[in-house]
Chains A and B, each alone.
Chain A
Amino acid sequence: MADPKMKFLVVDDFSTMRRIVRNLLKELGYTNVDEAEDGVIALQKLQSGGFEFVVTDWNMPNMDGLTLLQTIRATPHLKHLPVLMITAEAKKENIIAAAQAGASGYIVKPFTAGTLSEKLTKIFEKMGKA
């Protein structure tokens, strides 16, 4: 497991969903979690620094997850951030779009702590290699 103090930003417009993700992360030992309601707020928080991992929903008002991802990748001091996309869809177009925009991982609702852990481990492994 990576550093348990690692700071996560969970982005979702549905507060119940943020709570679910937060709880799952807690189950995995990550307790340093902040939340944002949409891409715009997420970017503001990210700009202020300190975050090491972004978990974002896809479908949100104001700025959706894909745009958030693209913006992160286009911002020099943020582009290294791992971004895990969460969606309810497993449509291949979506997955491709996420992959092309540089998503570090893609997870489909509903998922368990086990699935989440697996995705995180994979992302950490890749980061380690890079």
Chain B
Amino acid sequence: MSDFGGMEDLLQDFLQEAHDLLSDVDNKLVDLEKMPDDRGLLNDIFRGFHTVKGGAGFLNASELVTLCHLTENLFDRLRNGELELTPELMDIIMAATKGVRDMFGELGQMVQPQPADPAVIAGLHSALTGEAPQPVAPAPPPVTPAPAPAAAAEIAASGPDWSLLHTAVTGVEPKTAPQPQPVPVAPSAEMRVAEPTVTPAPAIAGQPVGQPAASPFGRRATDRPGGQPTAARRVEERTRENTIRVDTSRLDQVLNLSGEIGLTKNRLTSLRADILAGKNDSETLHALDQAVSQLDLLVSDLQNSVMKTRMQPIGRLFQKYPRIARDLARQLGKDVELVLAGEDTEVDKTMIEDLADPLIHLIRNAVDHGVEMPLDRQAAGKPQKSLVRLEARQEGDHIVLIIADDGKGMSAERIRAKAIEKGLISEEEANTLDERQSLNLIFLPGFSTKAQISDVSGRGVGMDVVKTNIQKLNGSIEIRSEPGKGSVFIISLPLTLAILPVLLVLLGEQPFALPLSLVREILPIEQNRIQEVGGKETLVVRGEVLPVIPLSRLLGWGSDHCPEYGVFMQTAERSFILGVDSFAGRDDAVIKSLEDFRPKGVAGVTTLSNGQIVLILDMKELLSDLGQHSEFGSGVRALDFA
């Protein structure tokens, strides 16, 4: 099964660290395009490949070693000014970086990576040989004894342990080391100075190494979506990281708190013994009260601290995107800069993973559909370079993510027309939609603005999937757009998924929990203020006409009496008033899912302080039963209530 018997732990560590390293390299590559002569950047990138190579060697991942080695050599020559960074060279480098990433994917599957795309290897070789002012060493593989004696002489003169050096020099030609460990080569009369830099690998011996420029290779490697590396990539995306990096100070805090809790528990145990022995004077009871309060405080602190260990800076996710935006823009012939902000905003780890795809989609969307071609921008009096901003920030108990472009914006009119054309809504429905609702039409399944799905517009995933994914995280997404100025997508997410603040409402004696994030306000329902509009009960709240939906009806309890209180609720696509009998307060619910049993409209259960079990309602699902069953999804059903 695994090629890494006994090294799985090491492999995990390596992959995690190497992934970060590679993302960093990716970003530096994007910067490098702007500042091709920056030695600091060249050095850092060189070191990135070098470090990955070193680690890969210990994992015997010889193909990864080879690829990193060639790329590293290329950067060595770039930083020494022996080569110049051309766009063609950049393409090769980008393809090589992608190759490295693909190999990480294979390693993540516990298999040794396949050889890199021969075109990439050949591209690297020809960049190193063909365009080089002067080769570092003779090109043909046959051993050249010439440099060896010189080296020997110099080394011998400087006096260190000769055989030590000899072993070091001879044992390490990466290409000849597919076997687990570098076998120390027995000292021989002739020293072989390995120079893999210029030694064409056997695998590509038949390749036209001498081709004029390397561009065809690089270009092809970047543009071709199919092929094995891509498959490996997908595999990689499916696997989730199962380790997490935690700041040690946070762990220390958890440790501290659990120690404190242990002490308090001891105190309680001794108090219990006292009380069981019949001691129940006021002093004992006071001590009990104190211990319980303390425990209460400590447990909630512990919960917070544990939750914090799951929080990761979203920058780890963001750092992948400048490269994606850059590649896409280049393919489309656009000039786009992705500006990041708020990278240290901390988000729950699971959420970071689930956000990866929606964000990629929105960024691709902004680059592909949002911003214009440079010439069109010029004609519109805008700077040729377009800006796409990706920002994260915490607002209260929510995380807000913003993807904004300064492109052509979206016209509500055009979107309505398209939705009608695609048969998603009727013309009458279209006429009743306001600006915001019209923009929201792009989230309907089947509303993909481009007929041809290239590898550019993603994996055939529409905006509807983006929305569904965000909603799965209990989040919402909103669009603002101004024609000619650009579009903004605003995603709002709860801080964590594990704890859900809820409002407890009562129907008769039975409590139910509603997600507090949907609750706007609570108001009494006065019967005489209820108006019938189109056969539906409505209530006017500050000029807004809102439908009144009794919870009993949603649950199918068919009670006749009128609800006394209303909960003004706002989901992503509609606002309404939920009629209930009374309230039992608010609570931070720890959601427990119901295994193998999922009644419609129930998101999970939680336990109250008195031990009572309460259902947490899934409003979206409950509401989907209401009104006409339309296939259009929420955007249109909102019309019923608007």
Contact = CB atoms under 8 A, between A and B. Distances in A.
A90 B171 contact: yes
A75 B86 CA distance: 45
Contacts of B60: 110
Contact of B47 (A19, A59, A100, A107): A59
A108 B53 contact: no
A92 B151 contact: yes
B159 interface: yes
Contacts, number: 95
Interface stretch (B10-18, B468-476, B519-527, B606-614): B10-18
Interface string A89-100: 010100110011
Contact of B193 (A17, A92, A99, A105): A92
Contacts of B169: 90, 92, 95
B165 interface: yes
A103 interface: yes
Contacts of A88: 50, 53-54, 57
B164 interface: yes
A15 B17 contact: yes
A61 B160 contact: no
A99 B158 contact: yes
B47 A95 contact: no
A16 B151 contact: no
Contacts of B121: none
B175 to A, nearest CB: 13
Contacts of A23: 10
B169 to A, nearest CB: 5
Residue from the set B151, B158, B160, B184 with the largest chain A CB neighbour count within 10 Å? B160
A100 B54 CA distance: 24
A119 interface: yes
B194 interface: yes
A119 B55 contact: no
A112 interface: yes
A106 to B, nearest CB: 5
B161 interface: yes
A112 B164 CA distance: 15
Contacts of A16: 10, 13-14, 17-18, 55
Contacts of A35: none
A47 interface: no
B510 interface: no
Interface string A10-40: 0001111101100100000000000000000
Nearest to B43: A61
Nearest to B194: A90
B154 interface: yes
Interface string B168-201: 1111100000000110100000000110000000
Nearest to A98: B160
Contact of A110 (B57, B155, B164, B184): B57
Contacts of B14: 16
Given A16-B10, A110-B60, A96 B155 contact: yes
B81 interface: no
Contacts of A99: 155, 158-160, 165
Interface in B360-402: none
A88 B279 CA distance: 72
A55 to B, nearest CB: 14
Interface in B3-57: 10, 13-14, 17-18, 21, 44, 47, 50-51, 53-55, 57
A92 B17 contact: no
Contacts of A106: 160, 164-165, 168
Contacts of A90: 168-172, 194
B135 interface: no
Contact of B10 (A14, A20, A92): A20
A2 to B, nearest CB: 17
A115 B10 CA distance: 19
B447 interface: no
Given A14-B55, A16-B18, 13 more contacts: A14-B54, A16-B14, A17-B51, A19-B13, A20-B58, A59-B51, A90-B170, A92-B147, A92-B193, A95-B155, A95-B165, A99-B159, A115-B167
Interface of B: 10, 13-14, 17-18, 21, 44, 47, 50-51, 53-55, 57-58, 60, 147, 151, 154-155, 158-161, 164-165, 167-172, 181-182, 184, 193-194
Per CB-CB distance, the 5 closest pairs between chain A and chain B, nearest first, are A110-B57, A92-B151, A99-B160, A88-B54, A110-B58
25 contacts: A14-B17, A15-B13, A16-B17, A16-B18, A16-B55, A17-B51, A19-B10, A19-B13, A20-B58, A23-B10, A57-B54, A90-B171, A90-B194, A92-B154, A92-B155, A92-B193, A95-B155, A95-B165, A96-B154, A96-B155, A96-B158, A99-B155, A108-B171, A115-B181, A115-B182
